[in-house]
């Protein structure tokens, strides 16, 4: 007889609490994983943070529209004075047409669909395919002032990053030269 079993001699419930508790599986709340969706539900989520949050000052809210939508609805936009009907086709500003366009930081035209008529579209950014589709149809993709500024800022950042990389490379080569001399 094991020591625990020996110790339990003379005790009515052998460590089971009340005499009612060892009847069936009711005191346990069922057998095995029973009740995991109701009375034994554990709502433990993963702990800690994951990933990376970009700083608020560099986040951009981008609204997009496909050239297909611009092409299909150009006549409607002209009727609502959102586009200008010219001899060459339609001239429109994507910011006026896109939902929440005036609140967005950037309005970008994407190249989904086909362009059947000549459109001159002004926007902050264009995908390469959108630019190609507009040019093929005899239209034009015009960068807005905001888009020009954004492009210039990106070029400045790229140039600055390139300078920093060159300086790092120069420092590394200087360190290698001094270490080989000694």
> What is the length of the chain?
182
Q: Does residue 142 sit within a domain?
A: yes
Q: Report the CATH number that the domain containing residue 130 is assigned in CATH.
A: 3.100.10.10
pLDDT beyond 90 at 162: no
Q: Is residue 115 part of a domain?
A: yes
- Residues 63 and 85: their CA atoms lie apart, in Å, by 24
Q: Does any domain span residue 109?
A: yes
Residue 22 placed within a domain: no
- Owning domain of residue 80: 59-149
| pTM recorded for the entire structure | 0.60
**Is residue 15 in some structural domain?**
no
Q: In total, how many domains does the chain have?
A: 1
Position 182 pLDDT exceeds 60: no
Q: What is the pLDDT of residues 97-109, one digit of tens each?
A: 888 888 888 999 9
Look at residue 39 in the predicted model and tell me its pLDDT. Answer: 87
Query: Could you tell me if residue 103 is inside a domain?
Result: yes
User: Which residues are CB-neighbours of 141 under 8 A, at least 6 positions away?
Assistant: 109, 121, 123, 126, 130, 131, 134, 135
């Amino acid at each position: 007889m094991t020591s625990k079993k020996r110790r339990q001699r003379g005790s009515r419930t052998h460590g089971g609490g009340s005499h009612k508790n060892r009847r069936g599986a009711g005191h346990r709340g069922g057998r095995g994983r029973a009740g995991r969706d109701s009375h034994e539900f554990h709502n433990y989520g993963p702990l800690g943070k994951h990933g990376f949050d970009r700083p608020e000052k560099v986040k951009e809210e981008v609204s997009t529209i496909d050239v297909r939508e611009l092409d299909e609805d150009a006549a409607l936009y002209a009727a609502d004075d959102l586009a200008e009907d010219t001899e060459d086709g339609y001239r429109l500003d994507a910011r006026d047409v896109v939902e929440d366009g005036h609140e967005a930081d950037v309005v970008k035209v994407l190249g989904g669909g086909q362009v059947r008529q000549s459109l001159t579209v002004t926007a902050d950014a264009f995908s390469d395919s959108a630019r190609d589709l507009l040019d093929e149809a005899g239209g034009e993709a015009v960068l807005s002032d905001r888009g020009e500024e954004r492009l210039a800022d990106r070029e400045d950042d790229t140039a600055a990053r390139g300078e920093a990389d060159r300086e790092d490379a120069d420092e590394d080569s200087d360190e290698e030269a001094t270490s080989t001399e000694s």
